[in-house]
Amino acid sequence: MEDRFGRKIDYLRISVTDRCNLRCLYCMPLEGVKPKPRQEILRFEEILTIVHAALRLGINRFRLTGGEPLLRKGIVPFIKSLTLLPGVRDISITTNGILLTRLGEQLKEAGVQRLNISLDTMNPEKYRKITRGGSFHTAWAGITKALELGFSPVKINVIALRNINDGEWADFARLTRGHPLHIRFIELMPVGTSWHLVGKNFASCSQVRSEIEKRLGKLTPVTDMQGSGPAEYFHLPGAEGTIGFIHAMSSHFCASCNRLRLTADGKLRPCLHDRREVDVREAVRSGATGEELQELFHKALQLKPANYHEATGAPVTGRGMAQIGG
C-alpha cells in the first residue's frame, strides 16, 4: 500500500492502552493524564479485526505501544492471537521495562522477538525525577532480563535532554561495548506536554554524536541494521551493540515514513504531528466489513502529509504521547 507521495506503508503502531505506571516529564503533565473510560478503549478482538483489514492492504509489521502496553490485562494472550494471523511478519513492543522481569518470559513464548525499552538516565535519583517516582533498578532489571531471555534486538530509547541527561550520553554509548544493546538517541518532539521543555532541554542528534565522539572516538556507520524505523546507526570499534540517532526534528525522516498509528481509543492517525484522525472504532462496533475498514485506511493515507511541517500541528493542548501511542 502506498500513500499519495509514493511511500510504501507497511507498519502499524498499535496503542493498546493510554495508561502508564510512570509519569515522565516529557510525556505527561505533573497531574498525570485522565485515562479514557474503558468502554472507549478498543477491545482486543476489535484490534484483531482492524489488523485483519491492515494485513489485506500489505501492512505486516506491528508495534504495540501505550501508555505502557504491559499494563493491559490479557496482553500476552492477545499477542499470541496476533502472531497466529496469516501474513504477520513482525511484532515488537515499546515498553518502559518496569514489568519485564515478570512478563518477559511469557512475551518471548508468545512470539515477541524485538523490544524497545525507554531509559533516559542511569542515575537512580535522576530517573526518579524524570519519571516522577519510577525505580531505575526495576527498569534495569527488566533490561537485564530481556537480554537473558534472548530478545534481539534490544533497543534502548534515550530522549536527548540538554541540561538533564547530557552528561550521560557517552555513558549510554559505552554500554554497547559490554552488552548487545542498541542505544538510540531521540530528539525531543514538541507533542502535547513536551512543548514546555523544548526551549531549555532540546538537543539535536548532531550535538549528541559530537559529545560521544569527543569522549569515545570516531563512530563508524552500520549499514546492515535490521528494522523498519528511522534511526541512523553507528558503532564503536569492537562494540557488541550499536548507537542510533533519530533526527525527529533537526533532519526529519518524513520522506521514508512507512507507518500509521492506531490509538487506544480507535483512531487511525496518519502523522504524529497532525491532529487529523480517522475513527475506526465506531466502524468496527457498527459491524463494518473488511472492505469498509480498508477504505478507512485509505482515507487516513489521504490525510498523511508530505512532512510534519505541512501537518495541521499538534498544539500544546492536543494529545500527548501516552494518548497517541509513543
Domain of 85: which CATH number? 3.20.20.70
Instruction: Name the residue type at position 122.
Output: M
Question: Would 250 be classed as within a structural domain?
Answer: yes
Grid coordinates belonging to 233: 546507526
Average pLDDT, the chain: 91
Reported as a single tens digit per residue, the pLDDT across 12-54 is: 999 999 999 999 998 887 777 788 999 999 999 999 999 999 9
Q: Which of 68-82, 85-99, 186-200 has the lowest mean pLDDT?
A: 186-200
The answer to whether the CB of 135 falls within 8 A of the CB of 100 is no
Say how far apart CA 257 and CA 248 lie, in whole Å: 11
Question: Would 3 be classed as within a structural domain?
Answer: no
Grid coordinates belonging to 86: 496469516
133: left (phi over 0), alpha (psi -120 to 50) or beta: left
Strands 232-235 and 220-221: antiparallel
Question: Would 6 be classed as within a structural domain?
Answer: no
pLDDT for residue 316: 47
Helix, strand, or coil here: 137?
Answer: helix
Question: Would 193 be classed as within a structural domain?
Answer: yes
- Torsion sign (Cα): 9, 15, 21, 25: positive
Question: Would 194 be classed as within a structural domain?
Answer: yes
pLDDT for residue 30: 76
Percent of the chain with pLDDT over 90: 76
99: left (phi over 0), alpha (psi -120 to 50) or beta: alpha
pLDDT for residue 76: 98
Residue 166 CB burial class (10 angstroms; 0-12, 13-18, ≥19): middle
Strands 181-187 and 154-160: parallel
Reported as a single tens digit per residue, the pLDDT across 297-325 is: 999 999 998 876 555 555 444 565 566 76
Greater confidence, 275 or 130? 130
Q: How many domains does the chain have?
A: 1
Residue 221, pLDDT > 80, answer yes
Question: Would 270 be classed as within a structural domain?
Answer: yes
Alpha helices in the chain (DSSP H): 44-56, 75-83, 100-110, 124-131, 136-149, 169-178, 195-201, 205-216, 281-285, 290-303, 321-324
Strands 278-279 and 11-15: unpaired
Say which residues have a Cβ less than 8 Å from residue 160's Cβ, sequence separation at least 6.
166, 169, 185, 186, 187, 188, 203, 204, 205, 207, 208
Residue 270, domain extent? 11-324
Say how far apart CA 98 and CA 32 lie, in whole Å: 18
94: left (phi over 0), alpha (psi -120 to 50) or beta: beta
Question: Would 303 be classed as within a structural domain?
Answer: yes
Say which residues have a Cβ less than 8 Å from residue 31's Cβ, sequence separation at least 6.
none
Q: Which of 104-113, 204-213, 272-281 has the lowest mean pLDDT?
A: 272-281
Question: Would 47 be classed as within a structural domain?
Answer: yes
Q: Which of 22-26, 120-124, 155-159 has the lowest mean pLDDT?
A: 22-26
Say which residues have a Cβ less than 8 Å from residue 252's Cβ, sequence separation at least 6.
307, 308, 309
Helix, strand, or coil here: 316?
Answer: coil
pLDDT for residue 255: 80
Residue 69, pLDDT > 50, answer yes
pLDDT for residue 252: 67
Q: How many CA atoms lie within 13 A of 107 on its CB side?
A: 28
pLDDT for residue 321: 59
Residue 218, pLDDT > 80, answer yes
